[in-house]
Structures are given as structure tokens and as C-alpha cells.
Amino acid sequence: MSANDTTLVEQSAEAANEFWTLVIDVWNTSFLGASVGQGLLAILAILGGLLLRGLVATWLVALLRRLVRRTQTELDDAVVDALAGPFQLVPVVLGVFVATLILGYGGAETIGARITQSLIAISLFWALHNAVTPVANGLDVITSSLTPVMIDWMTKAMRILFIIIGAAAVLEIWSIPVGPIVAGLGLFGVAVGLGAQDLFKNLIAGVLILTERRFLPGDWVMVDGVVEGTVEKINFRSTVVRRFDKGPVYVPNAKLSDNAVTNFSRMTHRRISWVIGVEYKTTTEQLAYIRDKTLDYVLNHPEFAKPPEVTTFMRVDSFGPSSIDFKLYAFTVTTNWTEWLRIKEALAFELKKIVEEAGTGFAFPSQTLYMDDGSEVFLPPELQAEQAQRATADDGKGDG
């Protein structure tokens, strides 16, 4: 072998060694500073966490549900259902944590540690966010002291609070100062507040409505000139009132707070106030019979409220243009509208029967015309002029 051939072989060997060195260097450092093998293992760890996410979470949730079914309270069942989502994130967090250890990012101040801490913080505050509603609706201490609407508002506020705290915790993990952001939001809030006074006015009005307990969902309310219907939902800014024609009305809370609101659902009784007119030919004895019989029916009927709880009377009240008028004033025990209509109908049937038994009848508007046979007869101006012309013509014929 010649010297040139020997030199060529040595150069080729050196080039191959340099290439292999480059390959080894790339293999050991090209995956975010770690080896490709470590990177592949890290990816497998994350994929394994994603794969186990459904299996482990489903198995864990099923196990917890079997355990909580043995208890008598339903609070723990609702909490487990609410935490099913955060539980599914646990295998993913473990997969990311193993991946960071494989890549050598498991130190306290490394990016891998911060990613793992951020996922843990998200899982924790996600669980707290989901657990608020079942806990608030399941604790007897809360449900007995607060109305359902106040509980709904409280849970919404708590869930928003946990979202804000969770976001702040993640920012702190990444060494992002929260103070300047809050200060900036404060200035932004002042600017927004100047242009959103109505929004905050309605929000405060909603709080006042809840604290005063003016009405609750399901109540029949009337606000003069605004709306009348059934309250469906009290939101932060407005209240949904469904009218009796089934049309929803979104009323700003300020209108319900500043105006007078009549809550018909909180009536203790329903009133019946009638004016009953009978014919003028009705005798005194007949009037007394109608009065006594009607009052006896009302006072002895179980569906009418009795004095002194309510005022009840049946009296001759006035002499109208066409009738002698009774005033009937009574209250029913029920406040249900359909039941009240049924009771009124039964009272109307009984009243008609009593009037017929008395031998008289109900009056109706009427007029009587009296004809006068006097010598003076009123004629319209046109007829008067026509008569005058005829009289003049008759006088002319007589003269001829």
C-alpha cells in the first residue's frame, strides 16, 4: 500500500470518528439539553400519564363513589362527582413530573419543577372551584340560614375567587409579580367604573334585593309600570321575570330595588270584594234575607278566613242609579289563584240561589222615559222655519 493510500485511509477514519462524535453529541444534548434517549423516555412518561388519565381516574372515582355510598349524607357523593375532573389531571401531573426527572429538570428552581408546580396548583384550585357548589348546597348550616339565591350568588363569588387566587399562584410560581398587575387592574377598574356606573348600581341593587328578601324565584311580583309576572332568576345585573303570557322580561335590578314591588306570593289570604245590586222593588225583609244568608255561607264555609283574623261583612251599602247595592267583603284561606277562582265561582252560584230564594232579582242599568202631553211641543229650528213658511202661504191664499 502506498503512502498516499495510507494517508487517505487515516483521513477517512478521522472523518468517520468526527462524524460519530457529532452524532453522539447530538444524541446526548439535542433534546432540550438532554439526550434523545432521555427525551424519548420523557415523552413516553407523559404519554403514559395521558393513557392512564382515563383509566386511573375512572377507577379512582368509581372506588370513591362506592365508599361514599355507604354514608347516609349525600354531600360526599356530590363532592366526589365535582372532583372527577381534577382527579383526571393527577396522572398527567405525575407523568410530567417523571419526565422532568428523566430530563434532569427536577430541581427546585428548574423549568420542569415550575411546570409541575403549576399543574399541581391548577389541579388544586380546580378541585376547590368545583367543590364550592356541592358543599354550599349540602351543608345544613348554610342552607338553613341563607336563601337559595344568596347561596347561588355566594357560590359564584367563591368560584371566581378561586380562579383569581389560582391564577395568582401560577404567576408566583413563575416569579411574575402580582402586585403591579393588581395595581394596573385597579387603575383599569377605576376607568371602567366611571363608564359602568349602571352596572355597579345594578349589582349593588341585586345585593340589597337579596338581603331584604323582597322576592325569591317562583314569586309572583308586580312593579307598577315595569313588569308583572313570576320571578325566574336573580342575576348579578338583572332579574328574569316571566310574564303570564310566557314572555321573559330582563329587568335591571335597580328598577326592582328603587320602585315599590308588590309580592303577591306572600299574601296571607286572597280578597273578594264585590258590589251586588238588586232591584229597587226588593223589600226590606228580602234585603235582610239576602244579607244574612250570604254572610252565613261565608262565615261557615271552611275555605273562607274568619274574623278576627280578617274583616268579613255583607251590608247594604248604597242606592245606585239602577239598584240597591250590597257590599260583600271576604277573604279566602288559599292564596292560589286557580283555587281562589273556584271559590269565587261557588260563591257566585250560592249568591244567585239566595237572591232567587228571596223572591227578587239582580238589577241591571236601565232608563225610564216619561212622555208629557202638554200643549207646548218642541220643534227643531228647521221644522219651525218650514211651518212658518206654510203659515205664510196659507195666509196668502186666504187673502185671494
Segment 342-362 mean pLDDT: 95
100 with 39: CB under 8 angstroms?
no
Taking CA atoms, 88 is separated from 25, 91, 121, in Å, by 38, 7, 14
Residue 5, C-alpha cell as written in the block:
493510500
Q: Is the pLDDT of residue 101 over 90?
A: no
373-386 exposure pattern, b = at least 16 Cβ within 10 A, e = fewer: eeeeeeeeeeeeee
Residue 225 in grid coordinates: 309600570
Question: Is it the case that residue 384 has pLDDT exceeding 70?
Answer: no
- Report pLDDT for 41: 77
- What pLDDT is stored for residue 28 in this prediction? 60
pLDDT on residue 400: 47
Predicted local distance difference test score (pLDDT) of residue 292: 95
Question: Which residue type occupies 161?
Answer: L
Q: Contact at 8 Å (CB) between 259 and 239? A: no
Query: In the predicted model, is pLDDT for residue 192 greater than 60?
Result: no
Average pLDDT of the residues in 162-178? 82
Which letter does DSSP use for residue 266 in this model?
G
Higher pLDDT, 77 or 204: 204
Average pLDDT over residues 252-259: 86
Instruction: Answer whether residue 312 shows pLDDT above 90.
Output: yes
Helix (H) or strand (E) holding 214: none
Percent of the chain with pLDDT over 70: 74
Q: Name the residue with higher pLDDT: 338 or 176.
A: 338
More confident residue, 131 or 231: 231
122 C-beta neighbours (distance < 10 Å), count: 17
pLDDT value, residue 313: 95
Q: Which of 181-185, 217-221, 342-346 has the highest mean pLDDT?
A: 342-346
pLDDT at site 272: 95
Q: In what helix (H) or strand (E) does residue 363 lie, and over which residues does it extend?
A: none
Nearest to 193 by CA among 179, 181, 203, 205: 203
Q: What are the Cα distances from residue 268, in Å, to 303, 331, 341, 360?
A: 13, 9, 16, 36
Task: Specify the pLDDT at position 370.
Answer: 63
- pLDDT score, position 361: 93
Residue with the bigger pLDDT between 161 and 50: it is 161
Average pLDDT over residues 276-305: 95
Band (pLDDT 50/70/90 cuts) for residue 285 is very high
| 259 pLDDT above the threshold of 90 | no
Q: All 3 cell numbers of residue 187?
A: 387603575
Instruction: Check whether 40 has a pLDDT greater than 80.
Output: no
Task: Supply the mean pLDDT for the chain.
Answer: 80
pTM score of the predicted model: 0.49
Average pLDDT over residues 173-184: 71
**pLDDT confidence band for 334 (50 / 70 / 90):** very high
